Amino acid sequence: MANGSRVLVTGAPIPVEHVPVGNGEMPAVVVDISAARAIGGRPVLDLETGLATVWPDFDPNHPGARAAETRA
């Protein structure tokens, strides 16, 4: 995700650390909606708006936030 989007949604830069891929882990995750677009699917939200809707769940200071470690 572009740093600009991270700052716009969170209000602060989020550091990124690139580390070697561990055994059995996927080396990359590529998200591509071209198959959905091919059958008429269209995003309802842009990336920044979508992130803004879920970011409060990751903010421990936000009322009602769920701790990331409780997610399944």
Q: Is residue 53 a part of any domain in this protein? A: yes
User: Tell me, what's the pLDDT at 44?
Assistant: 93
User: Tell me, what's the pLDDT at 24?
Assistant: 92
Helix, coil or strand: residue 46: coil
Specify the length of the chain in residues: 72
Q: Is residue 19 a part of any domain in this protein? A: no
Per the structure, the complete domain to which residue 2 belongs is given by 1-10+44-72
Q: Is residue 34 a part of any domain in this protein? A: no
User: Tell me, what's the pLDDT at 3?
Assistant: 60
Tell me the C-alpha distance between 27 and 19, whole Å: 10
pLDDT 10s digits, 12-67: 777 888 889 999 998 888 888 999 999 999 999 988 888 888 888 877 777 766 65
Q: Is residue 54 a part of any domain in this protein? A: yes
User: Tell me, what's the pLDDT at 30?
Assistant: 84
